[in-house]
């Protein structure tokens, strides 16, 4: 584990004005909070937050970000609280730590509507402070570096999530070095044989040709020296995953792949970049179609560089990137360059993008999405796709993801133009609408009055904006028929379990799925975007459970108690399996178990010695955990009996029932329900809420 003195010296090396005492205090506090905790490797757990802080220090970030890294797991995994962090290190650090904690709890790799909602939360956290994402990315990088100590299934899940989400996010933020490493670490887990084969090919190639990187570096340096241009040249073999991806895209073997080496030339001034380009092109033949000028057309994350590919020594294709030192700093750090320090001051880099402006451009096209599928489509394309730049006939630049078509171009200009598109010309020549656009092309869209989006366009378009607009137009056109069909499908599905497709039941299901109303739900069912079984899983999941689904072995209730301790749930928050819990040692009453968010825990902040870290074990449980609910329902004959039947159908038990307020048209009642866990309680509450005569159901001391 990195010692505190080493970490402080690392920060002072780029920020002499760093508040070292504050960094040391955070180190000591984090170490104390994580005392006794270990990682899968057996190392002290606190070695992880320290390593994350060191990764961020390598990026020359400010004190608050370093302190956040040291404490980023404290609120989640220890008895520390938001209030305690705020008191010791200030509101800004507390908010950053809280933001990282919330990101840690997001299930970004899930395959349902939950993923879209969690992406919304990801963007929300980024909008508050981009440093939250920088800490989270560094956290993921260290976890991937030490992933070999995890169970195999956990390794696969983390590697998939990293490859699909965190690596592209790092790239979109301009942190290409981090993207490369995250991808390669994930590749090592997901396809070890593929990665090893690439490495073996490189070893064989070095034996046959020698150190090609050093040879080509000297060749380029000689050319620049003769041209009288001062510049730094360095090269590298591309990462195994980058090579593998090119092989997959081009369907070529390693021996036929040409650009497996990359070189960078760093100049002092911008004018020198073009002198370097001229010298390189005079010496070697440029490869057609491989020149890109990101200086005149910078990427949205601030990236600027000139890219060219030439046929170098022995005809080998060599990719060269030319940039100034300031451009290189942004290319290496991306959005993080905005926060970098040098000599105790915030580094003023003219090419660094204001992260808030960057985020505004990122979210501009995703905020108008009406449902989760469209939102997710927007986010993944806007955040993770490489871009191409095309021009309108008037010379305006339109940015699109790689692989975009004239349909995407038309919708990028305006939804009305996209909907009326009947043809397109690219560089003056008429082309089919499925043509893939390339950098620098001029595109002219032809429209016609009365034209409407065609269903075949869904297979042609690639951008979220175009797809969602086409889908919305098609859905509106067929909506009435979809709703009628969906109503019949919902009726049949619910009658199968003895329930009615009432407006209240359908509205309840729509609300739980994040849809505007029951018409949206029925339209989805009618258009085959949702099945009757999925509707039942939302409203009455317990009715779909089959006997024998539960494991034979019952679960132990709580882990973390010593042999002489016994626990009992606190009445104030009624903790259930599935909720994060903490124990408070008491005299005479054993250990009182609270949910981690219980308001009563504030009373024990001054007595940390009484806190006990507890958690629920996994396995089958009986419906024996008490949860108190408050229900408001119509005062009509048969309603109470129907509600009791509903609770029983959900495999829950009524322990107590009390009518607390009886009026002529409604009454309120309190029902104590015995359930298996918090998910089971949510099933019960949803089923009750779906009843037409129930106005509201709330859990004791909680908002729904």
The structure tokens listed for 217 are: 């570096």
Whether residue 344 is contained in a domain is answered as: no
Confidence of residue 570 (pLDDT cuts 50, 70, 90): very high
Whether residue 479 is contained in a domain is answered as: yes
The H or E element spanning position 101 is helix 91-104
Confidence of residue 547 (pLDDT cuts 50, 70, 90): very low
Report the SS3 class of residue 662: strand
- State whether 259 and 320 are in the same domain: yes
Beta-carbon contacts of residue 430 (< 8 Å; ≥ 6 apart): 423, 424
Whether residue 245 is contained in a domain is answered as: yes
16-30, 195-209, 623-637: least confident range:
195-209
- State whether 530 and 660 are in the same domain: no
Residue 504, pLDDT score? 92
- State whether 520 and 391 are in the same domain: yes
Confidence of residue 581 (pLDDT cuts 50, 70, 90): very high
Residue 398, pLDDT score? 84
Residue 123, pLDDT score? 63
**Hey, CA dihedral for 246, 251, 254, 256, is it positive or negative?**
negative
- State whether 496 and 570 are in the same domain: no
Report the SS3 class of residue 180: helix
Average pLDDT over residues 493-517: 90
Please give the Cα distance from 8 to 4 (Å, whole number): 6
pLDDT at 113 over 80: no
User: What is the pTM assigned to this prediction?
Assistant: 0.56
Whether residue 171 is contained in a domain is answered as: yes
- State whether 254 and 328 are in the same domain: yes
Beta-carbon contacts of residue 211 (< 8 Å; ≥ 6 apart): none
- State whether 36 and 180 are in the same domain: yes
| CATH number of residue 656's parent domain | 3.30.70.260
| CATH number of residue 531's parent domain | 3.10.20.30
The number of beta carbons lying within 10 Å of the beta carbon of residue 525 is 24
**Hey, CA dihedral for 178, 181, 185, 186, is it positive or negative?**
positive
Residue 372, pLDDT score? 52
Residue 52, pLDDT score? 93
- Last residue in a domain, options 539, 569, 589: 539
- State whether 500 and 523 are in the same domain: yes
- State whether 197 and 185 are in the same domain: no
- State whether 312 and 214 are in the same domain: yes
The answer to whether 135 and 124 are in contact (CB under 8 A) is no
The answer to whether 140 and 133 are in contact (CB under 8 A) is no
Confidence of residue 527 (pLDDT cuts 50, 70, 90): confident
**Hey, CA dihedral for 77, 82, 83, 89, is it positive or negative?**
positive
Question: Which residues participate in catalysis according to the annotation?
Answer: 76-77
Confidence of residue 68 (pLDDT cuts 50, 70, 90): very high
24-38, 262-276, 315-329, 624-638: least confident range:
315-329
Whether residue 249 is contained in a domain is answered as: yes
Query: Structurally, how many domains does the chain consist of?
Result: 5
Q: pLDDT tens digits, residue range 679-704?
A: 899 999 999 999 989 999 999 876 54
Confidence of residue 664 (pLDDT cuts 50, 70, 90): confident
- Last residue in a domain, options 477, 512, 539: 539
**Hey, CA dihedral for 374, 376, 379, 385, is it positive or negative?**
negative
Average pLDDT over residues 19-32: 92
Whether residue 357 is contained in a domain is answered as: no
Residue 553, pLDDT score? 47
Whether residue 369 is contained in a domain is answered as: no
Average pLDDT over residues 620-645: 88
- State whether 264 and 316 are in the same domain: yes
- State whether 203 and 173 are in the same domain: no
- Last residue in a domain, options 155, 189, 223: 189
The string of DSSP codes covering 381-435 is HHHH--EEEEE-TT--EEEEETT--HHHHHHHH-HHHHHTEEEEEETTEEE-TTP
Q: Which range scores top for mean pLDDT: 524-528, 541-545, 549-553, 650-654?
A: 650-654
Beta-carbon contacts of residue 652 (< 8 Å; ≥ 6 apart): 542, 623, 673, 674, 675, 680, 681, 684
Which domain covers residue 17, as residue numbers? 4-189
Mean pLDDT, the chain, integer:
83
Whether residue 552 is contained in a domain is answered as: no
Average pLDDT over residues 363-375: 52
More confident residue, 243 or 645: 645
Q: pLDDT tens digits, residue range 380-421?
A: 555 555 567 788 888 787 878 778 999 999 998 999 999 999
The values of phi and psi at residue 158, to 5°, are -65, -40
Q: How far is CA 523 from the centre of its chain?
A: 29
| CATH number of residue 315's parent domain | 3.30.460.10
- State whether 209 and 329 are in the same domain: yes
More confident residue, 367 or 636: 636
More confident residue, 290 or 556: 290
């Amino acid at each position: 584990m990195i010692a505190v003195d080493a970490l402080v010296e690392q920060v002072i090396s780029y920020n002499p004005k760093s508040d070292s005492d504050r960094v040391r205090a955070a180190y000591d506090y984090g170490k104390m909070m994580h005392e006794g905790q270990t990682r899968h490797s057996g190392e002290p757990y606190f070695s992880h937050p320290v390593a994350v802080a060191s990764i961020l220090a390598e990026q020359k970030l400010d004190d608050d970000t370093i302190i956040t890294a040291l404490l980023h797991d404290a609120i989640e995994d220890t008895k520390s609280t938001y209030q305690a962090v705020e008191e010791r290190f200030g509101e800004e650090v507390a908010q950053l730590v809280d933001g990282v904690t919330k990101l840690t709890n997001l299930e970004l790799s899930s395959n349902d509507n939950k993923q879209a909602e969690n992406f919304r939360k990801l963007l929300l956290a980024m909008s508050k402070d981009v440093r939250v994402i920088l800490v989270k990315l560094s956290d993921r990088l260290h976890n991937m570096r030490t992933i070999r100590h995890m169970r195999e299934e956990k390794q696969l899940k983390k590697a998939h999530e990293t490859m699909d989400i965190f690596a592209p996010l790092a790239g979109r933020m301009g942190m290409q070095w981090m993207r490369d490493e995250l991808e390669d670490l994930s590749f090592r887990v997901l396809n070890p044989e593929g990665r090893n084969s690439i490495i073996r090919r490189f070893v064989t190639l070095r034996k046959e040709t020698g150190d090609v990187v050093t040879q080509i570096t000297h060749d380029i340096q000689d050319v620049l020296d003769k041209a009288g241009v001062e510049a730094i040249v360095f090269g590298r073999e591309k990462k195994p995953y980058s090579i593998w991806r090119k092989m997959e895209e081009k369907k070529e073997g390693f021996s036929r792949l040409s650009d497996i080496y990359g070189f960078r030339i760093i100049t002092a001034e911008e004018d020198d970049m073009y002198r370097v380009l001229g010298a390189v092109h005079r010496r070697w033949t440029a490869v057609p179609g491989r020149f890109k000028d990101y200086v005149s057309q910078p990427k949205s994350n601030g990236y600027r560089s000139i890219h060219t590919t030439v046929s170098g020594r022995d005809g080998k294709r060599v990719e060269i990137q030319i940039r100034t030192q300031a451009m290189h700093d942004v290319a290496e750090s991306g959005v993080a360059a905005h926060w970098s320090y040098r000599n105790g001051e915030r580094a003023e880099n003219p090419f660094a993008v204001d992260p808030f402006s960057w985020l505004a451009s990122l979210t501009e096209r995703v905020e108008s999405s009406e449902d989760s599928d469209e939102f997710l489509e927007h986010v993944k394309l806007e955040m993770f796709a490489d871009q191409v730049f095309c021009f309108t006939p008037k010379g305006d630049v339109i940015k699109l993801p790689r692989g975009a078509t004239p349909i995407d171009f038309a919708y990028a200009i305006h939804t009305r133009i996209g909907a009326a598109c009947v043809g397109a010309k690219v560089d003056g020549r008429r082309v089919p609408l499925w043509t893939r656009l390339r950098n620098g092309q001029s595109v002219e869209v032809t429209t016609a009055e009365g034209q409407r989006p065609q269903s075949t366009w869904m297979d042609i378009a690639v951008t979220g904006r175009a797809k969602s607009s086409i889908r919305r137009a098609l859905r509106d056109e067929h909506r009435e028929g979809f709703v009628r069909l969906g109503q019949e499908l919902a009726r049949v599905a619910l009658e199968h379990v003895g329930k009615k497709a009432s407006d209240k039941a359908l509205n309840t299901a729509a609300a739980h799925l994040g849809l505007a109303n029951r018409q949206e739900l029925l339209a989805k069912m009618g258009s085959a975007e949702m099945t009757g079984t999925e509707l039942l899983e939302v409203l009455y999941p317990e009715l779909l459970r089959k006997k024998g689904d539960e494991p034979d072995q019952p679960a132990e209730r709580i882990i973390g108690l010593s042999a002489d301790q016994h626990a009992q749930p606190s009445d104030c928050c009624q903790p259930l399996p599935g909720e994060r819990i903490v124990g408070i040692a008491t005299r005479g009453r054993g250990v009182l178990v609270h949910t981690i968010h219980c308001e009563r825990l504030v009373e024990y902040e001054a007595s940390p010695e009484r806190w006990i870290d507890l958690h629920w074990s996994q396995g089958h449980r009986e419906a024996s955990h008490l949860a108190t609910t408050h229900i408001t329902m119509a005062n009509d004959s048969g309603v109470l009996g129907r509600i009791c039947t509903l609770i029983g159908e959900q495999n829950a038990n009524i322990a107590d029932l009390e009518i607390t307020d009886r009026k002529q048209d409604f009454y309120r009642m309190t029902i104590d329900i015995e359930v298996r866990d918090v998910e089971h309680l949510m099933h019960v509450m949803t089923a009750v809420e779906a009843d037409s005569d129930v106005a509201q159901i709330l859990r004791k001391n909680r908002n729904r």
